[in-house]
Structure formats: C-alpha cells, structure tokens
Amino acid sequence: MTNVSTVKDDIRTALETLLGPEVRSIGADESFRDFIGERFDSLMAVEVVTTIEERFGIEVDYVGDDVRYWFETLEKMEQFVKERLEDTATLQAV
C-alpha cells in the first residue's frame, strides 16, 4: 500500500506516464482541463481515472464518486486517493 504522504508525488508520476512531463508543472489547484487543453476530453478523463485506479489499487465509481469533481485538480485527486487508501486500511484492520 502507498504511504499517504507520497500520494501527490505518486499521482504526478502516474499521470506523467500518461500525459507527459508537463504534468510536473501543474499547480495543485489548477484544473487539468485548463492546463492540458483540448487533449483533455472524455476519453482522456477515463484514462486518467484508470491510471489512478491501477497505480493505487483502488476502484472508482464514475457516478457515485463524482469523478468530474474529484479528478478536476491534483489537490482534489490527492484527497480522494488518500481517503480511499485510509478506508481500505481501516477495512483491512477489522
């Protein structure tokens, strides 16, 4: 399991593989859609979510998890992943 303190860097690394090195310069609260521009379409959004699912071993419900909100910025994505990892750790401890 990923240490929650490294989540932001792990997200950037995973997205860099998908989107290129320019991901390293995106601000934590900057919109991916605004930063990436026309390349960030619905297919790219699905690829981003899938990349994060695979990297962190989590599952994202596209409707129930409000993907448009949680995957809009790096900061929100980090919060979402940390919460999922903490939930998983709690469930495994029971």
Instruction: Tell me what pLDDT residue 36 has.
Output: 85
Instruction: Tell me what pLDDT residue 3 has.
Output: 59
pLDDT digits (tens, 9 = 90+) for 1-57: 555 558 999 999 999 999 899 989 999 999 988 988 888 888 998 999 999 999 999
* Short-list 63, 53, 46, 62, CA closest to 88: 53
Instruction: Tell me what pLDDT residue 59 has.
Output: 93
Instruction: Tell me what pLDDT residue 52 has.
Output: 96
End-to-end CA distance of the chain: 17
Instruction: Tell me what pLDDT residue 86 has.
Output: 92
Do 56 and 2 contact (CB within 8 A), yes or no? yes
Q: Spelled out in words, what is the top-level CATH class assigned to the domain 7-92?
A: mainly alpha
Quote the pTM value.
0.86
